[in-house]
Structure 1
Amino acid sequence: MARCGCGGGQCNCAIAAGENVTLSGSGSVANPYVVSATLGCEDVRPCLSGTSGVDYNPAPGVISADLSGQAGNNRTLGSDGGLFVPTGSATVSVGRGLTGNGSGANRVKVSTGSWPYACSADTNGGVVVCDSNGRLRSEPRGKITYQQFFDSRDYPDITVPAAQNTVADTFSMPVTNTDPRRDAFVLVEREADVYFVLPAGAGAGAGYAGDEMYYLRNSGTSSIVGAHTQPPRCWPTRDCSRRVRARRSGAR
């Protein structure tokens, strides 16, 4: 240390030990001053406090991580005393079609039923996709529409011709497919009122598109007036245009 007020090889500096400080030596070259400081834990603890995420117990002076006790928290202290989050720990809550808790032993899964059909689900199962809002969607829903078409047409009496098949009239009706993605399957049901006047010995039939649905022959000796039929017919088709045919045979 710098010499202060020293003369004749003697130093007149006065040095005193303060709080928590010890002093030894005389200040000579052979016996210099040695200053030692000792600070106890009880002196440091008042300066410490617990904050967010830190737990401090001032009595023993222990500082540790403050682990939340909130349900679902999986962070723990490992065997070495460090913070530890087990791999695959449960981190989610599920419901509405989901099962599991997200752990390695109980992964989150979609709750599904069993496939009850003899065919394979790999080739015959539907598709489930995720839409732009993150919601699961199935394939487009099927649509059913019902349309009716009534048309009244009167015809003058037609002499029973000799030809086997004669087209009496043709009907058509437009059908709009309301599904924007799939072809429509159209089921057409048609009925037509047909009246026959059959002379003795004459016979006549009526049907649709060459398919005879009704036939009557007059085997008596006088005319049959007002013989009536209203045959229905269904077509599974994409083309709703069908012809109504009248088959007549017998007397000329």
Structure 2
Amino acid sequence: MITGSPAAVEAGDNITVTGAGTPGDPFVVTAVTDCAEVRTCISAGPGILYNQATGVISSDGSAVVNTACGLDGDGSAGSPLSITSGAWPYPCDVTTSGTPVYCDANGQIRTTPPHTATQNVQQTQTAYPDVLVPNPDDTQIEIQQIAVVNPDPCREAFVIIEQEMEISMDMPINSTGASGIGTDDMMFRFNNGNSPQVSVHSQHTKVVATIIGAGVATVTQMRVTAGRGTGGATYERVQTFLQAFILTIAD
């Protein structure tokens, strides 16, 4: 209570003063919050959400973060984190053809495993003591094999196998002989000349393909065959060349 001469009381911003300041009519000070003013203050910084319909003010749960390496924004509702990305340079649709990124157990961003391309080569050359060329066609005279390993633990591998063979034959007059890979005759020769032919040969190639599973090791074979031998034709040398290309392509 103020006694003596009435005191001067002045209302400030958002304040209302009533009464004369006497015992019978005391001062009453009323403060009213200006919602628009408060709303301006709290929305000026990050981390605050205001529901216009209910009037509820809450935290948006965001925290200010430091950004680098293509990240932008501060993590707030007004400035969410974003990643700087380049322009998609391909004619296909990025939505259906783009490769996703992944998060590992340590919280590090990962992309798909890199593609791999490996090669395995095996070459042989065997001399024979003038063995008669067999008469039945596609008779196996050698079998060669090559190891194929898919080094990718995640994806299947597409394997291209090049098979080459060469057989040297001695062919008397009016003799015949054939050679091939598996059941495919690659060469048939008939000496209908006037003199024997010595160490005649030609090199032939066949390409096959297969798919092996992730991390799988296997062996692929090539059957060297000969046949249709007549007139005393013999073979004295077999040369083979196997080459495997093991390819895994990123998704």
Is TM (by shorter chain) over 0.5? yes
For 1:157, the equivalent position in structure 2 comes to: 130
* Whole-Å separation in 1 of the counterparts to 2:103 and 2:148: 33
Q: What SS class does the counterpart of residue 116 from structure 2 fall into?
A: coil
The 1:80–1:123 alpha-carbon spacing in structure 2 relative to 1, beyond 3 Å, is: closer
* Whole-Å separation in 2 of the counterparts to 1:87 and 1:198: 96
Q: Normalising by structure 2, what TM-score?
A: 0.56
* Count of matched residue positions in the alignment of Structure 1 and Structure 2: 179
Contact 1:192 1:232 in 2 (8 A): yes
Shift in Å, 1:216: 2.5
More strand by share: 2
Q: Larger RCO: Structure 1 or Structure 2 (Cα < 8 Å, ≥ 6 residues apart)? A: 2
Shift in Å, 1:166: 1.4
> Residue by residue, what CA displacement relative to the aligned partner does 1:126-156 show, whole Å, maximum 9, x if unpaired?
3321122332211111222222223332222
For 2:24, the equivalent position in structure 1 comes to: none
Instruction: Work out whether 1:231 is the aligned partner of 2:194.
Output: no
The 1:128–1:82 alpha-carbon spacing in structure 2 relative to 1, beyond 3 Å, is: closer
> Residue by residue, what CA displacement relative to the aligned partner does 1:55-101 show, whole Å, maximum 9, x if unpaired?
xxxxxxxxxxxxxxxxxxxxxxx834974244778955654344566
Contact 1:166 1:248 in 2 (8 A): no
Instruction: Work out whether 1:140 is the aligned partner of 2:113.
Output: yes
The 1:107–1:192 alpha-carbon spacing in structure 2 relative to 1, beyond 3 Å, is: same
* Whole-Å separation in 1 of the counterparts to 2:40 and 2:95: 48
* Whole-Å separation in 2 of the counterparts to 1:135 and 1:194: 57
The 1:218–1:109 alpha-carbon spacing in structure 2 relative to 1, beyond 3 Å, is: farther
Contact 2:165 2:181 in 1 (8 A): no
Contact 1:160 1:251 in 2 (8 A): no
* Whole-Å separation in 1 of the counterparts to 2:167 and 2:103: 56
Contact 1:188 1:234 in 2 (8 A): yes
Alignment match of 1:113 (pick from 87, 95, 116): 87
* Whole-Å separation in 2 of the counterparts to 1:218 and 1:88: 94
* 1:221 alignment partner AA: N
Instruction: Work out whether 1:84 is the aligned partner of 2:42.
Output: yes
The 1:121–1:198 alpha-carbon spacing in structure 2 relative to 1, beyond 3 Å, is: farther
* 2:88 alignment partner AA: S
Contact 1:165 1:246 in 2 (8 A): yes
The 1:228–1:92 alpha-carbon spacing in structure 2 relative to 1, beyond 3 Å, is: same
For 2:101, the equivalent position in structure 1 comes to: 128
Q: How does 1:1-252 map to 2 (within 5 A)?
A: 79-80=37-38, 83-86=41-44, 94-98=67-71, 107-110=80-83, 111-114=85-88, 116-118=90-92, 121=94, 124-238=97-211, 240-251=220-231
Shift in Å, 1:124: 4.5
The 1:142–1:82 alpha-carbon spacing in structure 2 relative to 1, beyond 3 Å, is: closer
Contact 2:73 2:79 in 1 (8 A): yes
Give ranges in structure 1 of 5+ residues lacking alignment.
1-21, 23-33, 39-77
* 1:155 alignment partner AA: Y
Give ranges in structure 2 of 5+ residues lacking alignment.
8-35, 48-62, 212-218, 233-251
For 1:66, the equivalent position in structure 2 comes to: none
* Whole-Å separation in 2 of the counterparts to 1:221 and 1:199: 9
Identity %: 28
* Whole-Å separation in 1 of the counterparts to 2:72 and 2:111: 20
For 2:58, the equivalent position in structure 1 comes to: none
* 1:244 alignment partner AA: V
Contact 2:163 2:222 in 1 (8 A): no
Shift in Å, 1:243: 1.2
For 1:44, the equivalent position in structure 2 comes to: none
